[in-house]
């Protein structure tokens, strides 16, 4: 929380958006002006907070002190060109030229690079674009592989360009994301076989780039409702009772088995990864809205 | 049911948002078709290594590997290695060793072919195309990255063709690159602005990179066109995988619309991990008698929680069915333990194929 940038990474469907939003709420409560950033033109935060999303490429207030922003790579590119060329006219000329559009559309990694540029800018105390300043930027990153590609894009382009303005800026961004005093990397995980495997894989691939996870948030952990005696008593009913009662017992035992499986996955993650683990409970709410996010943010605040 | 969707199909592309069990569904479909006598290969372009674990294989490489699955047909699996696929493509298409070495040793080529996200999408399509042309399989099942990236991979070949087709490539490879007289005033203005944005060194390097490809570019363009045709071919089927959660349902509806707009052959939706219906009967008194007040209350709490999720799933799936109109939807229930091996995949079979 004392960082300027937090990247929330991890497998798809593990609750990265939820965790980013809950962290954002906790930071805002602590008095930090915070922005939660979605990439690849996702717009899920506004809906979670019951706020109308904007078409514009700027932040909307989600809660007091908490803002949401969805980065559109095409707009991030325009901003970058404007800054780079110090002229809206020239930026429009180049950005609007067919050669440039076709090149940047076909070149892999360009949208990741300009997206990282925008993320970096949001985390600066002196905004390049002159936008308002945030104490903390939290990024809801794309799923593992693409998230890693996003994180490593500045380094890649710094090596591609070697010298000149792109190399200089890319290096500046890379240094910022590699500085552990400035940037934290979190992984979102679920207590299941494949998400755990992917989290361990993510940690290893970060290590290949000399990066490390600051924490792993294990999301949606089922409650341990039944102790072993109770589950044995339920199992011992062995089909007694009416159809409805049997179905109820089957449902309870089924959840109990899942919960036990989840706990062994948490244990496995604890053994195989080096980062500290934080767990969040499974919420049985049909949709996660503001109230659920508040609950999760309080839990995160206690444990992070 | 899936078997009907895949009749007379060579390619099945599984798409959907993250964490909905796309990899598992792809593997279960491939295994099911192999069990029904087909020779099937399942490939993943997801940069994360999940397919191997769901097939019980410790490692997968850029070549297909036979899965020991005890089926009437054959099940093969591979994980795309974008860099190796790219290298192989260059080796195959280079007119001579000098061209091959020039590309493979180019610094920009080395960076772009390995680390960068978009190259995965290009190379997945390339591999799919290659395997399809070789014709060694009855069916290829492709597991894709999460939805919005999946759209990227559909667009990737078109973007590459557009770039190669246009005069943009000539712009960078023209012998008089720095004079640019041949392109007239407009291009030289663009060039000087671009130089200001990127620096001259990068432009020179880019020019060298594009020149190193020589005539190969037109070959790539042909292949990219071939891939585009393959995606919209009547022997290809797009299967959307979703979970019954609201955000995943929204993504599925979004992707469904995009597929139809793009004229791509959409087969149906697999809704994975659906919470089973929980009956609404009052069993409190009976449970209390059977297991005592405390335990009965816990069972009832569990039931109430599970019912909330089951109700949500039912509402969401009804909404999706409405949006799909008459397109088919298969429900796979939330099974007790999470699926990550061949036995688990077999348990999905009765729902997918039943």
| Nearest Cα to Cα of residue B44 among B90, B12, B72 | B12
- 3-class secondary structure, A5: strand
Interface ipTM = 0.89
| Nearest Cα to Cα of residue A116 among A102, A137, A87 | A137
Q: How do residues A30-49 score in pLDDT, each as one tens digit?
A: 999 999 999 976 778 888 89
Q: Is residue A262 part of a domain?
A: no
How many domains does the structure of chain A reveal?
1
Q: Count CB-CB contacts under 10 A for residue A252.
A: 25
| The two three-digit tokens of residue B254, written as one number | 């979004």
Q: What percent of chain A has pLDDT over 90?
A: 72
Among candidates A84, A162, A244 on the partner chain, residue whose Cβ is nearest the Cβ of B201:
A162
Taking an 8 Å cut-off on Cβ atoms, the answer to whether B162 and A13 are in contact is no
* Cβ proximity of B322 and B35 under 8 Å: no
Q: Is residue A184 part of a domain?
A: yes
How near does any CA of chain B get to the CA of A114, in Å?
A: 13
| Nearest Cα to Cα of residue B339 among B54, B58, B68 | B54
A148 contacts on B by Cβ (under 8 Å): 47
Q: Is residue A280 part of a domain?
A: yes
Taking an 8 Å cut-off on Cβ atoms, the answer to whether A81 and B171 are in contact is no
* Cβ proximity of A139 and A4 under 8 Å: no
Among candidates A156, A248, A251 on the partner chain, residue whose Cβ is nearest the Cβ of B116:
A156
A102 contacts on B by Cβ (under 8 Å): 159, 162-163, 166, 168
Taking an 8 Å cut-off on Cβ atoms, the answer to whether B145 and A146 are in contact is yes
Taking an 8 Å cut-off on Cβ atoms, the answer to whether B198 and A252 are in contact is no
Report the pLDDT value the prediction gives residue B47, as an integer from 0 to 100: 52
Q: Is residue A214 part of a domain?
A: yes
Taking an 8 Å cut-off on Cβ atoms, the answer to whether B200 and A164 are in contact is yes
Q: Is residue A261 part of a domain?
A: no
How near does any CA of chain A get to the CA of B308, in Å?
A: 6
| Mean pLDDT rounded to a whole number for chain B | 86
Measured between alpha carbons, how far is A144 from B173 in angstroms, rounded to an integer?
A: 36
Between chain A and chain B, the number of residue pairs with CB atoms below 8 A apart is 240
CATH of residue A289's domain is 3.40.50.300
Q: Which domain holds residue A118?
A: 5-224+275-303
Helix (H) or strand (E) holding A84: helix A73-85
Centroid of chain to Cα A174: 18
pLDDT tens per residue across all 354 residues of chain B: 899 999 999 999 999 888 888 888 999 999 999 999 999 999 886 555 666 766 767 677 778 889 988 999 999 998 888 888 889 989 988 999 999 999 999 988 888 887 666 677 778 888 899 999 999 999 999 988 765 555 667 777 778 788 888 777 777 777 655 555 555 667 778 888 888 888 888 888 888 888 888 778 888 888 888 888 999 999 999 999 999 998 889 889 988 998 998 899 999 999 999 998 887 788 999 999 999 999 999 999 999 999 999 999 999 999 999 999 889 999 999 886 667 788 889 999 999 998
Measured between alpha carbons, how far is A106 from A100 in angstroms, rounded to an integer?
A: 10
Closest-CA residue of chain B to A42: B148
Looking at the DSSP bridge assignments, the partners of residue A259 are none
* Cβ proximity of B44 and B37 under 8 Å: no
How near does any CA of chain B get to the CA of A270, in Å?
A: 19
Taking an 8 Å cut-off on Cβ atoms, the answer to whether A162 and B120 are in contact is no
A11 contacts on B by Cβ (under 8 Å): 18-19, 48
Among candidates B48, B120, B246 on the partner chain, residue whose Cβ is nearest the Cβ of A198:
B48
Q: Is residue A35 part of a domain?
A: yes
A58 band by pLDDT with thresholds 50, 70 and 90: confident
Taking an 8 Å cut-off on Cβ atoms, the answer to whether B117 and A11 are in contact is no
- Decide which of A227 and A287 is more confident: A227
Task: Indicate yes or no: pTM above 0.95.
Answer: no
Q: Is residue A48 part of a domain?
A: yes
Q: Is residue A21 part of a domain?
A: yes
């Amino acid at each position: 929380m004392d960082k300027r940038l937090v990247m929330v990474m991890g497998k798809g469907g593990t609750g990265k958006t939820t965790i980013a939003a809950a962290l954002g709420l906790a930071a805002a409560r602590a008095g930090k002006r915070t922005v939660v950033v979605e990439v690849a033109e996702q717009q899920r935060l506004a809906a979670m907070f019951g706020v109308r999303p904007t078409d514009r490429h700027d932040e909307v207030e989600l809660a007091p002190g908490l803002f949401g922003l969805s980065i559109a790579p095409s707009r991030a590119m325009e901003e970058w060109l404007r800054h780079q060329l110090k002229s809206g006219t020239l930026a429009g000329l180049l950005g609007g030229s067919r050669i440039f559009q076709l090149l940047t559309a076909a070149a892999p990694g360009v949208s990741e690079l300009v997206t990282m540029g925008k993320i970096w800018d949001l985390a600066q105390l002196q905004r390049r674009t002159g936008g308002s300043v945030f104490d903390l930027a939290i990024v809801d990153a794309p799923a593992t592989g693409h998230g890693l590609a996003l994180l490593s894009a500045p380094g890649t382009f710094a090596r591609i360009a070697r010298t000149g303005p792109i190399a200089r800026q890319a290096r500046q961004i890379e240094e910022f994301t590699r500085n552990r005093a400035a940037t934290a990397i979190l992984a979102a995980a679920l207590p299941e076989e494949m998400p755990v495997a992917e989290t361990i894989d993510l940690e290893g691939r970060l290590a290949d780039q000399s990066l490390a996870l600051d924490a792993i948030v294990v999301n949606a952990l089922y409650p341990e409702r039944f102790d072993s005696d109770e589950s044995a008593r339920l199992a011992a009913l062995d089909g007694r009772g009416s159809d409805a009662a049997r179905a109820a017992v089957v449902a309870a035992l089924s959840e109990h088995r899942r919960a036990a499986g989840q706990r062994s996955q948490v244990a496995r993650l604890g053994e195989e990864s080096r980062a500290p683990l934080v767990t969040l409970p499974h919420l049985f709410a049909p949709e996660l809205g503001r109230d659920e996010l508040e609950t999760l943010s309080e839990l995160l605040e206690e444990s992070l | 049911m899936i078997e009907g969707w895949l009749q007379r199909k060579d390619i099945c592309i599984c798409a959907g948002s993250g964490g909905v069990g796309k990899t598992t569904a792809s593997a279960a479909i491939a295994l099911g078709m192999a069990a029904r006598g087909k020779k099937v290969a399942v490939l993943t372009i997801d940069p994360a290594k999940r397919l191997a674990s769901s097939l019980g294989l410790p490692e997968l490489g850029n070549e297909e590997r036979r899965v020991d699955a005890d089926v009437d047909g054959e099940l093969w699996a591979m994980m795309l290695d974008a860099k190796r696929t790219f290298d192989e493509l260059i080796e195959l298409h280079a007119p001579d060793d000098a061209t091959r070495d020039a590309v493979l040793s180019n610094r920009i080529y080395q960076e772009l072919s390995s680390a960068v996200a978009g190259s995965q999408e290009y190379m997945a399509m390339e591999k799919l195309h290659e395997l399809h042309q070789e014709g060694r399989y009855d069916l290829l099942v492709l597991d894709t990255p999460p939805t919005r990236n999946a759209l990227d991979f559909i667009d990737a070949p078109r973007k590459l063709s557009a770039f190669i087709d246009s005069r943009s490539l000539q712009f960078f490879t023209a012998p008089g690159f720095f004079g640019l007289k041949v392109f007239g005033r407009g291009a030289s203005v663009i060039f000087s602005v671009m130089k200001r944005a990127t620096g001259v060194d990068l432009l020179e390097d880019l020019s060298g990179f594009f020149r190193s490809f020589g005539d190969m570019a037109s070959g790539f363009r042909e292949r990219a066109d071939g891939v585009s045709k393959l995606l919209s071919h009547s022997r290809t089927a797009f299967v959307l995988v979703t979970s019954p959660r609201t955000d995943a349902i929204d993504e599925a509806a979004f992707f469904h619309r995009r597929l139809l707009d793009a004229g791509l052959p959409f087969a149906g939706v697999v809704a994975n991990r659906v919470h089973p219906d929980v009956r609404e009967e009052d069993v409190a008194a009976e449970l209390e008698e059977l297991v005592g007040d405390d335990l009965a209350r816990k069972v009832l709490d569990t039931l109430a929680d599970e019912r909330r999720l089951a109700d949500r799933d039912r509402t969401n799936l009804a909404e999706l069915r409405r949006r799909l109109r008459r397109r088919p939807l298969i429900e796979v229930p939330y099974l007790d333990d999470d699926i990550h091996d061949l036995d688990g995949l077999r348990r999905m079979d009765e729902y997918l194929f039943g």
